[in-house]
Amino acid sequence: QVTLKESGPALVRPTQTLTLTCTFSGFSLTTTGVRMTWIRQPPGKAPEWLARVDWDNDKFYSTSLKTRLTVSKDTSKNQVVLTMTNMGPVDTATYYCAQSMTGRSLDYWGQGILVTVSS
């Protein structure tokens, strides 16, 4: 059974760096084809794809946010980490991690974590 859970701060101050962790079970990120993606969804708005890290450590980033994002994996801990620098109020959103075997769809999602950016 695949499960994913996001963790991190619920409140971040403007200009700070956000670090989120996705802890998963039911699969291994060393398995060929496994891809882990971060997505965010501002309140009342559509999801936005942020970044992806693959089993072979290939990494992909949103064109508009790539200068602020870093994604990494720790296969020994079954975790994927996303950092986003220079947070602002527009970055307030629910952040999700998701797993896929193809990268063409998002097959399993975590429950999400609401991150509010406010002073």
Partner 1 sequence: QSALTQPASVSGSPGQSITISCTGTSGDIGAYNYVSWYQQHPGKAPKVMIFDVNNRPSGVSNRFSASKSGNTASLTISGLQAEDEAEYYCSSYTSGSILLFGGGTKLTVL
Gap between the Cα atoms of 19 and 94, Å rounded: 13
Is the distance from CB of 14 to CB of 117 less than 8 angstroms? Answer: yes
- Binding test (CB under 8 A) with partner 1, winner from 43, 46, 76, 90: 46
Residues β-bridged to residue 100:
35
Q: Taking contact as CB under 8 A, which single stretch among the options 13-21, 56-64, 76-84, 85-93 is the one that binds partner 1?
A: 56-64
Q: How far is the CB of 106 from partner 1 (least distance, A)?
A: 6
Query: CB of 68 within 8 A of CB of 84?
Result: yes
Q: How many residues bind partner 1 (CB under 8 A)?
A: 21
103 makes contact with partner 1 (CB under 8 A): yes
Query: Structure tokens of 106?
Result: 């998002």
Residue 75 binds partner 1 (CB under 8 A): no
Q: Kindly give the residue spans of alpha helices, DSSP state H, lying in the chain.
A: none
Q: Which residues bind partner 1 (CB under 8 A)?
A: 37, 45-49, 52, 60, 62-63, 96, 102-107, 109-112
